Structure 1
């Protein structure tokens, strides 16, 4: 920061050492509390060299959302995903979801190009080495023709990739030093336990899944989801059901940013309230919308009747795929074929979400153009509305600079009540996790 309190001019060619060295001045503005913090440098969003370093140090060491559990619910299904620049396979066996590098142990051939059914056997297309869904080598054709004394099939199973699930999401991690997913998520599983996400499913209905190709950096999309400063101007219709005055933070300890709308309003627009709600929710969950950005690449918008899940797949510094899916609690939307009435109600909900997402895509692409072609120095964050961004920026800085990710500091949670709200009123229906913490 300059002596006059302003940020230095933006530089799109920062040396790599500045991005990855612990204690680097590059990240100093993000280390401050939100009331003295600034947005991140244009380099972070627009430089392809930074993107490459980020793939290695952030996506290569974090717990990254790679699939929905419903996509690999049955044995015999094989998924192909990319994480940190590496291609991985996901399978399900009796032992659960398993992840492997997409590379044969013979001569490294790619085992699969796209999602497919495998009848529980993964076959290399080159020399037909066979692997079980657990990754064990079960056949190496013709190796018994001239036996090798040093060859034992038990030594040549597929290379494992750590996988764990929570709720509807399968996470993968390439780094053995990264703390377990339970530590990464912090209090989120307990905070969201009443929803019983393991029972939520997609519906066999047109439009329930879609993918968008966005000309913006993945972090701009995650940041946009995490803050509500833009709400009134970018989403005037959304602001009728998710009013700025009804927003509160929803953050315990964990690698996530959260906010809640309490209550979700239906007096001007009731698009979010059309579908039948989940059973067994308490007064806070039944009246609220929970909006969670799971670091780095998963966002969950949870309403009493449905969930809009988005997984971000970074392709380059300025291009991201959004994989979006609607999930529903046990009930008429998932118990067989939805009725014509339910399909009509879902279409109202779906159309509203897509309209909102289109508005977000448009503003994020505009932000990307401004950052890439304009590159103005970063400005200050708004304390009440952009505190989750300060939290997101700190997590980014930590993953980029920590020599060993085993030392990762998981962010602490907000304190109950109004003390952290920077001018907002206390939540009139605090979630159970915050009521419990205040007693």
Structure 2
């Protein structure tokens, strides 16, 4: 339900320090991370109007499975039937009862636990027990199906959007599907390996986690071991038009540590993809760390201003690692990769929680962004500002790509293996 009070963070003036280029912009105000009132409005205006990732496509790939997810403070059901993937508000059309508390199998029928109204997996009302004992002339079951919500799939992810006015998902994603097309993510899967999926409960705001992922200013001090395989001089920006920000490491190094290079690479990658790590923060709540052989995927679930759940999953291209019984050698190779990622993520969690404490308890006014490293944060801040301030989300303009040439790309030199999509755009 829309609120009537207009808070300062819904005004253009509040976000003015984020609207300039990175060279002239400031970080965001402490309230953006620590104020529970801000969080409540953000749930409505940002998560209630964005395309929000809520599940892996594989979780609802077969008919008969029901997923329950929270989006912008609303509970949403996801089902698959012969009519395809569907999303609905988790509320019976009789008197609004919650239909399901958690993921479950439904045998293609959704039953209200209160008065047993029945719905098909595609949301149609199909049974109303005893309702015809005293007929109502104004009642037609066709008028009382579940309330639909927009649901789409890209690659390994299912997205939900609660607003009918938000531009379609393909507009939201921009050039990202083309940029990552050769990986063929729709075929990537998790594996039956210990530790391939895990959840972390983080005492930090979700935006701090995204910001930490999107910049590499902190690498030498927070991640000294990571900096051996993802070296600071080998970082370049990786972002075209779309609601995302990103960077790439080209090449990924293996001379000091080869933790990212122990698994077999995907087939069909070009020279740039085969040598690089792609690190994309898809607005608002997804981070994709894509290597030639695997992806470390995080879907963020904001719980409060100072608490976020990280749903982490390793995904792999088709091959022996996704077999029912991968070889002992592959299991050990994955364990090397898994341990490294968890060590890195533990370091990130620690510094994000420390940042949250400093913001919430100290509340120092924001300082300037570092142009060499933090342009993706400036882009992320502007997207946040847009969702918080636009009266109509139909007016959203996705960010443009980086300017032609090397001025925005940084790195110690021009990227030795530019992504194909950037080469194509330059010609």
The reply to whether TM is greater than 0.5 is: yes
Which of 399, 403, 411 aligns to 1:415? It is: 403
Q: Is the Cα–Cα contact under 8 Å of residues 178 and 405 in structure 1 kept in the other structure?
A: yes
Q: Distance in 2 between matches of 1:174 and 1:189?
A: 22
Residues 1:19 and 2:9 are matched in the alignment: yes
User: Which residue of structure 1 lines up, in the alignment, with residue 306 of structure 2?
Assistant: 318
- Provide the rounded CA distance (Å) in 2 between the counterparts of 1:176 and 1:354: 38
Q: Is the 8 A contact 1:384 1:424 kept in 2?
A: no
Could you report, residue by residue, the CA deviation over 1:89-130 in whole angstroms, capped at 9, with x for unpaired residues? 011112221110000000100000000011111110011111
Counterpart in 2 of 1:98? 86
Aligned to 1:277: 265
| Residue in 2 that maps onto 1:145 | 133
SS at match of 1:19: helix
Aligned residue in 2 for 1:107: 95
- 2:148 pairs with one of 156, 160, 182: 160
Q: What is the aligned partner in structure 1 of residue 20 from structure 2?
A: 32
Instruction: Give 2:249's aligned residue.
Output: 261
TM superposition shift of 1:216: 0.2
Q: 1:428 aligns with which of 409, 416, 420?
A: 416
Equivalent pairs, count: 423
Aligned to 2:184: 196
- State the TM-score, normalizing by the size of structure 1: 0.95
What is residue 338 of structure 2 aligned with on the other side?
350
Match of 1:63 among 19, 32, 51: 51
- SS of the equivalent of 2:300 reads strand
- SS of aligned partner of 2:374: helix
| Aligned 8 A contact 1:127 1:141 in 2 | yes
Confirm or deny that 1:209 pairs with 2:197. yes
Deviations 1:240-269 (A, max 9, x none): 000000000000000000100000000000
Unaligned runs of 5+ in 2: none
Question: Displacement of 1:416 after TM fit?
Answer: 4.0
Question: 2:225 corresponds to which residue?
Answer: 237
Residue 143 of structure 1: how far off its partner (Å): 1.2
d(CA) in 2 for partners of 1:145, 1:305: 62
Q: Retained in 2: the 8 A contact 1:418–1:424? A: no
**CA distance in structure 2 between the aligned counterparts of 1:329 and 1:73, rounded to whole angstroms:** 17
What do the CA deviations read for 1:193-245 (whole angstroms, capped 9, x no partner)?
10000000010111100000000000000000000000110000000000000
Go from structure 1 to structure 2 and tell me whether the alpha carbon gap of 1:189 and 1:374 turns closer, same or farther (over 3 Å shift): same
How far has the Cα of 1:423 moved from its partner?
6.8
Q: Which moved more, 1:193-202 or 1:332-341?
A: 332-341
1:422 Cα deviation from its structure 2 partner: 5.0
Alignment match, 2:107 = 119
Instruction: Find the aligned partners of 2:359 and 2:53 in 1 and give their Cα distance.
Output: 27
Residue 334 of structure 1: CA displacement? 1.3
Q: How far apart are residue 82 of structure 1 and its match?
A: 0.3
1:116-169 Cα distance to aligned partner (Å, 9 max, x none): 011111110011111111001111111121211111111000000100110001
Q: 8 Å contact 2:236–2:411 — kept in the other structure? A: no
Question: Residue deviations 1:26-63, cap 9 Å, x none?
Answer: 10110011000100000100000000010000000000
**Aligned match of 2:118:** 130
1:80 correspondence with 2:68:
yes
Aligned equivalents of 2:135, 2:77: Cα separation in 1: 30
Q: Which residue of 1 aligns with 2:323?
A: 335
Residue 161 of structure 2 corresponds to residue 173 of structure 1: yes
The whole-number CA distance in structure 2 between the counterparts of 1:372 and 1:419 is 36
Does the Cα contact within 8 Å between 1:417 and 1:427 map onto a contact in 2? Answer: no
Task: State the alpha-carbon separation in 1 of the partners of residues 236 and 411 from structure 2.
Answer: 11
CA distance in 2: counterparts of 1:112 and 1:99, whole angstroms: 13
In 2, the alpha carbon distance for the partners of 1:132 and 1:274 equals 46
Preserved contact between residue 179 and residue 421 of structure 2 (Cα < 8 Å): yes
- Name the Cα RMSD after superposition: 1.0
Q: Extract structure 1 runs of 4+ deviating beyond 6 A.
A: none
For 2:296, the equivalent position in structure 1 comes to 308
In structure 2, the CA distance between the partners of 1:291 and 1:422, relative to structure 1 (3 Å rule), is closer
Cα pair 2:235 2:411 within 8 Å, conserved: no
Unaligned 5+ segments in structure 1 are 1-14
Instruction: Tell me the alpha carbon deviations over residues 264-305 of structure 1, each in whole angstroms, 9 at most, x when there is no partner.
Output: 000000000000100000000000000000000001000000
1: CA distance, partners of 2:324 / 2:404: 42
